[in-house]
Amino acid sequence: MLLEIDNLDVDFKARRLTVNAAKSVSLHVEAGEVLGLVGESGAGKSTIGNAIIDLLEPPGQVSDGSIRFNGEELRGKDEDAMRHIRGDRIGMIFQDPQTSLNPLLRIGEQLVETIQKTKRVSQAQAQQNAIELLESVGITEAKARMRSYPHEFSGGMRQRVVIALALAGDPDLIIADEPTTALDVSVQAQILDLIRGLCKTRNLGVIIVTHDIGVIANIADRVAVMYRGNIVETGDVKQILGDPQHEYTKSLISAVPPADKRLHRFASVDYIDGTGDATANTMQRIDINTHWLGKQSQLQQTHIDKDNKAPAIEVSDLSLSFKLQGAILKRNRRMLKAVDCISFAIAQGESFGLVGESGSGKSTVARLIAGLHKPDAGSVEILGQSVLGSQKDPLVKAARLNLQMIFQDPYSSLNARLRVLDIVAEPIRFYKTSDNEKHTRQIVKDLLDHVGLGADAALRYPHEFSGGQRQRISIARALASRPRVLICDEPTSALDVSIQAQILNLLKDLQEELGLTLLFISHDLPVIRQMCDRVAVMRHGAICEIAETETLFESPQHEYSQHLLKLMPRMDVFG
Amino acid sequence: MLAYILRRLGQSVLVMAVVSLISFSLFNFVGDPVNNMVGQEATREDRVKIYQELGLDDPIFTQYFRFVGNAVRGEFGLSYRSKRPVDELIKERLPATLELVLVSAVIALVFGIVAGVYTGIRRDGWLSKFILSSSLVGVSLPTFIIGIGLIYLFAVTLRWLPSSGRAGIVDLGWWRTSFLTLDGWRSIILPAITLSLFQLTMILRLVRSEMLEVMQTDYIKFARARGLSERAINFTHALKNTLVPVITIIGLNIGALIAFSVITETVFQWPGTGLMFIQAVDFADVPIMAAYLCFVALVFVVVNLIVDLLYVFIDPRIRITGR
Amino acid sequence: MFAPWIAPFDPFDPAQISLWDGKLPPSWVEGGQEQYFLGTDNQGRDMLSTILYGGRLSILVGIAAVCLGMVLGVTLGVLSGYFGGLTDTIIMRVADVQLTIPGILLAILINGIGRTMLPLEMREDFAIYVVIFAIGLTDWPQFARVARGATLVESQKEYVQAAKVIGLPKRLIILRHVLPNTLRPVLVIATIGLALAIISEATLSFLGQGIPPTTPSLGTLIRVGNEYLFSGLWWITLFPAIALVVLVFAVNLLGDWMRDALNPKLR
């Protein structure tokens, strides 16, 4: 038994209350096996990793239980003794390779320093070891790269360096805390392969801490599921994913969008008390013909009538370049083609997906359509009206009003200084689409109720809400403009899976009810499959392939689409 | 990298051009230069003659370029008050100011950085807490009050040190220094401490807060997780990263020291350029004001240029991206 | 603020001043008179009252100067940050150039020029406004930089983009969304700026460039007292100096407290 944790309690003592981040946690790891520790944010999974190497952020402390490493009790060891455990016998890998390396030191220096600390070897020997280490984690021309600084590496390469640093002391156990969360899908797969390979060849014990069930399915031998500081279920990965016993595990797994089939909506994911899926049962369906949301303001009505059959969004030959490096001479300027000659049309009522890795330009397309960037060339039409002309033109204004957007980051998409009421009421008040202030408040409460927040939310401030609830506020704000087209730019990528399932359900319901057109942008293929009728795959600013969702997933035509689909984490690998 | 240096150089030249424009317009804003030259009782012909001699009938651009041309050679004309060339006056008084600023800068940097690092590492020690609370008092003490206090304590009451002036000067021909005699050191020590105290507390607080910030970063956490010793973490990893912003402050700091030397020199009657400037302002002696303005801006620009170059050596990210 | 009500004497009322009572030490020292608790100055004014009035003047000048600098700086900074491009370049270059000349020096210079441009007979009466103007004008780049930085961060945030998508006009976006969210760092700078402005005013007055002795501020009092320091009349300098330091210290404490209270990271 490499590591054995028994009844571990970790407390964070604040001034008034004590938070139990981990409650009687028991786990064990054998040499040569990968243990996945999975849970949503706030489950306490990272706390366990930090507790093992005694690096809990104050005021956190282990209050009870035991941590035995190779039969030796780690609890109660002094700082000096722990320093010889860390690095030498237990290695740690953190989430974000951008910030894990000291930007001012060459990676060679950082490696040599660590090697010399853990093994008493000469400078030259340490250099040699460092080069071998870099090679073993898949860095080519290791000798030359020793002299590079961290910023000269890409994200994936940096994470390899981080892994090399964690391996420098030849540890028996590696704790990897969300090691691939900050990386792109294709890089993610490589890093996971590397970790799994190292585990087997060096006979290491590995603990992978992650929120992503896909990662667990790909790499782990055994899984421990954490929920609110408790381990609710442990077992073999096949058993946990295929036949979960605990209610929480069941709802967690049912919230993961399946990659292989399209569901009508996600099964009940309301295990998480307090934040239950309010929309599922309590929401009253509204009749679009009589409800406020169904009416059109004068501005909208006079210019774009209801029988308009033009595509909701039509873009053609859209291009935009960003200046990477300004220079006086034109030939010295470095430009990035963020969007390169893109054309597509979305019919009214359709759900259209844009999928691609980070930097593919998919968000830029959304911003171009929403008018947040001005294109270098090409045209954008909303409901048949070109919107690139003068923004003062009432026709352009009316068309723009028919399009609203939901953003990625729920924490920055709401003005923290305004009450929820004022946030949601802003478009209503600005365009005077209600009869009076009392009516405005009624509409806002109605909207908040409809997105599953309850009317009471109106008088509170954004910081009182969780990420998922904030996203609901964003949706209510977008609806307050009475749009017919909704752009969703990665609306759930900052959320936990169970919350993601709720928000996706809400969006589906709203679309059905209000006949909205959706432009749905995501890097997450399974999510796209659940949400969209048609999909465009983007890469380097251009569209590789546009196809019906089912067609794309069953028989992708373009090489890049095939590549992406192959990398897509599948839950069914073991099942 | 070359582009980076060139851009910084270009910016410096631009700054100097604007400052010289301001200095130049001082001549036109503040009083009538002819009046200042000849006094009230001159005849009309005299005035016209001087007017033409000074080239004041030329177009404004010509005048400005002539001013810049002269300024580059260090010529700012005659002082209205003493009727001596301004560059001569400045050269005469420069050593006093520069020596004062140098000693203060050394005091401020050495004590500021050492105390800042100490309080950053030993966050909860009683000495840290003491240093920190006294630093807040230090920030609240206006320079002239420190000066008066030190004079009263060491010169008036204890009579250990001279209260004012610059004594023990050794003339090296090109430089008149007070570093070579005990008297010289005795006279410089009070003004230097006075001048440095405010900067010292600023540097101390900055270094400490930077240190605390760096200690929160992921790479420090990762260094801990690799089991590196506290010593290696504090001095190899944290200190170097702390120094990057601190160096900027050092640049600003030198400028501030020169500015506050005006006050210190007044309190201690130290015969430097600052004292000269304050007297010039009193008498609206424009050539001296203009020259002093350019001088201060030049020092500032040069120091900042050096700081920017230092960055290149400390921070590898600049070398590549050129930003 | 309440100087006129708590001060035992009115230092500007000639009827209450007698030169015979000049240069009296504090009441507890031999030779002191009971009604002059902290002694009198060279003109026979009661020190305690003069300090109270002077302190009030120092605070008022400081606040006025900071307000001037803040309004100017925040306006320019927010515009600069929000619009970017040429507006940004011009405003920030001006700020850069101004920052090459240290604040106190510039204040002395602006103050000196301001005084020379006024007719002689108006100089004393307008001295206070010239000082406020000089310090305020020196202060603005700090505010502009902070406000610009905060504006850059805020206007990248998605709530501002959401407001754009709703179609709100720029004026409304700036006033309703961007500005309120930039004020937090600006307020912290403002309290530190207030301490510096009070010091600047005192320094100007101490150098004889600021507020005239007829309506003395703390700096002026210290300047006057400094001339008598060597003759042993220590109280004319000491008490205003203590008052000034305590005042600045209090403002600095307030600033420190605000920085901690408003910094979400430290909570």
What value, to the nearest 5°, has the Cα angle with vertex A267 and ends A265 and A269? 120
Which of A237, A253, A274 marks a domain boundary?
A: A237
Whether residue A519 is contained in a domain is answered as: yes
A422-471 pLDDT, tens digit per residue, is 999 998 888 888 888 888 998 899 899 888 888 888 888 888 888 889 99
Residues of A in contact with C165 (CB under 8 A): 370-372, 400, 403-405
Q: How many helices (H) and strands (E) are present in chain A, helices listed first?
A: 22, 20
Q: In what order do the strands lie in the sheet with A230-236?
A: A90-93, A173-177, A205-210, A34-38, A222-227, A230-236
- Cβ of B30 within 8 Å of Cβ of C244? The answer is no
For chain B, how many residues are written?
Answer: 323
Choose among C108, C202, C245: nearest Cβ to B262: C108
- Phi, psi (degrees; rounded to nearest 5) at B178: -115, 15
Do B139 and B205 form a contact (C-beta atoms < 8 A)?
A: yes
- Cβ of A87 within 8 Å of Cβ of B226? The answer is yes
Choose among A149, A162, A325: nearest Cβ to B316: A149
Ordered domains of chain B (ranges, CATH): 1-73+287-323 (no CATH), 86-282 (1.10.3720.10)
CA distances from B23 to B202, B252, C116 (A): 30, 21, 16
Which of A175, A202, A237 marks a domain boundary?
A: A237
Confidence of residue C35 (pLDDT cuts 50, 70, 90): low
Confidence of residue C14 (pLDDT cuts 50, 70, 90): low
| Same domain as A306, residue A230 | no
C66-121 pLDDT, tens digit per residue, is 999 999 999 999 998 888 888 888 888 888 778 777 777 788 888 877 777 776 66
Q: Using CB atoms, which chains have 3+ pairs under 8 A with B? A: A, C
| Same domain as A201, residue A99 | yes
Closest CA to B300 of B256, B259, B258, B255: B255
Whether residue A419 is contained in a domain is answered as: yes
Say how far residue A103 (Cα) sits from the centre of its chain.
26
| Same domain as A134, residue A50 | yes
Q: Using CB atoms, which chains have 3+ pairs under 8 A with A? A: B, C
Q: How many helices (H) and strands (E) are present in chain C, helices listed first?
A: 10, 0
| B29, B101, B145, best to mutate vs chain C, most C CBs in 10 Å | B145
Confidence of residue B30 (pLDDT cuts 50, 70, 90): low
CATH value at residue A347: 3.40.50.300
- Cβ of B140 within 8 Å of Cβ of C93? The answer is no
Confidence of residue A221 (pLDDT cuts 50, 70, 90): very high
Whether residue A266 is contained in a domain is answered as: no
| Same domain as A410, residue A541 | yes
Closest CA to A176 of A163, A186, A188, A158: A163
Which of A198, A213, A237 marks a domain boundary?
A: A237
| Same domain as A197, residue A310 | no
Whether residue A360 is contained in a domain is answered as: yes
The beta-strand segments (E) located in chain C are: none
Answering whether pTM is above 0.80, one says no
User: At which residue do the structure tokens 């001012």 appear?
Assistant: A104
Q: How far apart are the first and last CA of chain B?
A: 9
| Same domain as A185, residue A45 | yes
For residue A297, the model assigns a pLDDT of 63
Q: How far apart are CA A155 and CA A97, in angstroms?
A: 6
Question: Measured between CA atoms, how close is C178 to chain A, in angstroms?
Answer: 9
Greater pLDDT, A299 or A358 = A358
Whether residue A214 is contained in a domain is answered as: yes
Could you give the ipTM of this predicted complex? Answer: 0.78
| A54, A84, A102, best to mutate vs chain B, most B CBs in 10 Å | A102
Whether residue A477 is contained in a domain is answered as: yes
| Same domain as A210, residue A321 | no
- Phi, psi (degrees; rounded to nearest 5) at B266: -65, -45
Question: Which two three-digit tokens encode residue C130?
Answer: 């010239």
Confidence of residue A401 (pLDDT cuts 50, 70, 90): confident
Q: Is B229 on the interface with A (CB under 8 A)?
A: yes
DSSP state of A571: G
| Same domain as A162, residue A92 | yes
Q: How far apart are CA A486 and CA A51, in angstroms?
A: 45
Per cent of chain A over pLDDT 90 is 29
Residues of C in contact with A474 (CB under 8 A): 162
Residues of C in contact with B262 (CB under 8 A): 104-105, 108, 207
| Same domain as A319, residue A180 | no
Domain with A483 in it: 288-325+336-567
Question: Measured between CA atoms, how close is C141 to chain A, in angstroms?
Answer: 26
Do B24 and B283 form a contact (C-beta atoms < 8 A)?
A: no
Choose among C108, C245, C253: nearest Cβ to B141: C245
- Cβ of C245 within 8 Å of Cβ of B145? The answer is yes
**At a CB cut-off of 8 Å and minimum separation 6, what does A187 contact?**
A154, A155, A156, A159, A180
Question: Which two three-digit tokens encode residue B292?
Answer: 């002093």
Residues of C in contact with A404 (CB under 8 A): 165-166
How many beta carbons lie within 10 A of that of residue B13, not counting itself? 11
What residues of chain A have any CB closer than 8 angstroms to a CB in chain C? 367, 370-372, 397, 400-401, 403-405, 407-409, 412-417, 426-427, 430-431, 474, 477-478, 481
Which amino acid is it at B128? S
**Which residues on adjacent β-strands are paired with residue A323?**
A335
| Same domain as A523, residue A394 | yes
| Same domain as A210, residue A143 | yes
Whether residue A514 is contained in a domain is answered as: yes
Closest CA to A84 of A64, A45, A54: A54
Question: Over chain B, what is the mean pLDDT?
Answer: 79
User: At which residue do the structure tokens 């939901």 appear?
Assistant: A406
- Cβ of B219 within 8 Å of Cβ of A99? The answer is yes
User: At which residue do the structure tokens 């049962």 appear?
Assistant: A281
Lowest mean pLDDT among A17-26, A565-574, B131-140, C151-160: A565-574
Residues of C in contact with B156 (CB under 8 A): 229-230
C238-255 pLDDT, tens digit per residue, is 777 888 888 888 888 887
Q: Which of residues 105-164 of C touch B (CB under 8 A)?
A: 105, 108-109, 112-113, 116-117
- Cβ of C202 within 8 Å of Cβ of B142? The answer is yes
Which amino acid is it at A370? A
CA distances from A558 to A546, A550, A562 (A): 10, 15, 6
pLDDT at C1 over 70: no
What total of structural domains would you count in chain A? 2
A364-399 pLDDT, tens digit per residue, is 999 999 988 889 899 998 888 888 877 778 888 888
Question: Measured between CA atoms, how close is C168 to chain A, in angstroms?
Answer: 8
Do B301 and B16 form a contact (C-beta atoms < 8 A)?
A: yes
Do A146 and A111 form a contact (C-beta atoms < 8 A)?
A: yes
Choose among A397, A407, A477: nearest Cβ to C161: A407
Question: Measured between CA atoms, how close is A66 to chain B, in angstroms?
Answer: 20
Buried b (16+ CB within 10 A) or exposed e, A212-244: bbbbbbbbbbbbbbbbbbbbbbbbebebbbeeb
SS3 A160: helix
Whether residue A65 is contained in a domain is answered as: no
Do A357 and A339 form a contact (C-beta atoms < 8 A)?
A: no
Closest CA to A524 of A560, A475, A491, A559: A491
Question: Over chain A, what is the mean pLDDT?
Answer: 85
Buried b (16+ CB within 10 A) or exposed e, A27-37: bbbebebbbbb
